[in-house]
Chain A
């Protein structure tokens, strides 16, 4: 071979050597491996698409961030004041609640429950909501107007036991947390690259907190591990099967942390950027309808 060879032409030809078909044996191996691998359950909350070219985004970056912040504030201003104190479950019986469909799908309006060993969290769903097999309930799923609630209940695989120390560069930062409400709040507050805003509230007659999580404005998303779109990762189980995460450009999602007679009960709630005031009110209404029931373990 001589140096005058056009290296590009040489490579074009050389790369035609080699196999061009995936062996059936290998395909079968992959399918078997996939069968053994559960999917990660991401609390993904899609939002208005920012389909801008990089230069245009760079030019409008500050404005885009400002618009998102203003929208978030505007939605917040239109919200109901949040779940209101509800009577104790023992004082005011609630209608009997059904289990969500095991396979997910559209839900008829009514009273439903998420269950965990020793308890149930019941709530009332209006028309237009649907569920998934993992217990997520939502309206307008995977759209910029989505509202969503996702259970991460005690004693279930999705229970919050580990929180990332850094949501922007999460690899290697997953740390175990203690079992109390304060343990989780402290871990979320200490998390690098996210801003956690804690509001006190009462859900189903029990004291709780709403922790709004969003990417810190001081963080450049392009530098994050999962760039360019994210997600930022808040928590996960050590087996990597259950995550709380959302895209960089999401206005933020909230963890609801409730102390139910000493047991930490957590669920996730959020609304995408273009949620309507009516759907936001429905989401708040579902949370306000929540009640807790004790059940016999097992």
Chain B
């Protein structure tokens, strides 16, 4: 964290709302993108992220080390997303959402059908596994950093990441078999 951000965090800890707004502004894009990729739904993304950002403001005086602000904030956001995802699963297990921007990527490495399979497989995952995959493959965190964010041992983070990879591969394979059977 740079010197300016440290000053902003200190000011926000003391109750400076403008400083906190600046902190949100500079980090919002990344946090929004992470939350959306975990939750796969804009409304739920915004609910979870707003909850996390308000909680972060409320609890900011409890942050002992301003240099840990980003890790702390990411942790709050990911937890909020997991909580929202758990709630989502309780409300609607079978809801299927095709991403709005499905066709916007011209990269032909993944076809529309691939993306549909990935979407369905991902949404069947446990919310913690979803978060771990996003933190690893989108945010670029190492397993040790994921462990710190989620408050779990590094070995647990590694094993959950492995499990999530295996579950995604199995989900895709199952879809492929169904497609073959269905013609």
Contact = CB atoms under 8 A, between A and B. Distances in A.
Interface string A113-155: 0000000000000000000110000000000000000000000
B64 A229 contact: yes
A44 interface: yes
Contacts of B59: 39-40
A146 B35 CA distance: 38
Given A22-B29, A40-B59, A17 B165 contact: no
Given A3-B172, A13-B109, A26 B25 contact: no
B29 A20 contact: yes
A7 B117 CA distance: 12
Determine chain A's interface SS by DSSP, over half rule: loop
Q: How large is the interface on B (under 10, 10 to 19, 20 to 34, 35 or more residues)?
A: 35 or more
B20 interface: yes
Interface residues of A, number: 47
B54 A19 contact: no
A26 B50 contact: yes
A31 B57 CA distance: 10
A115 B180 CA distance: 77
7 contacts: A16-B107, A19-B32, A19-B33, A29-B46, A34-B57, A44-B62, A46-B64
Interface of A: 1-3, 5, 7-8, 10-23, 26-27, 29-31, 33-35, 37-42, 44, 46, 104, 132-133, 227-229, 231, 240, 243, 245, 247
Given A2-B176, A37-B57, A40-B58, 13 more contacts: A10-B114, A16-B138, A17-B101, A18-B101, A19-B101, A22-B28, A26-B50, A30-B28, A33-B54, A34-B53, A39-B61, A40-B59, A42-B61
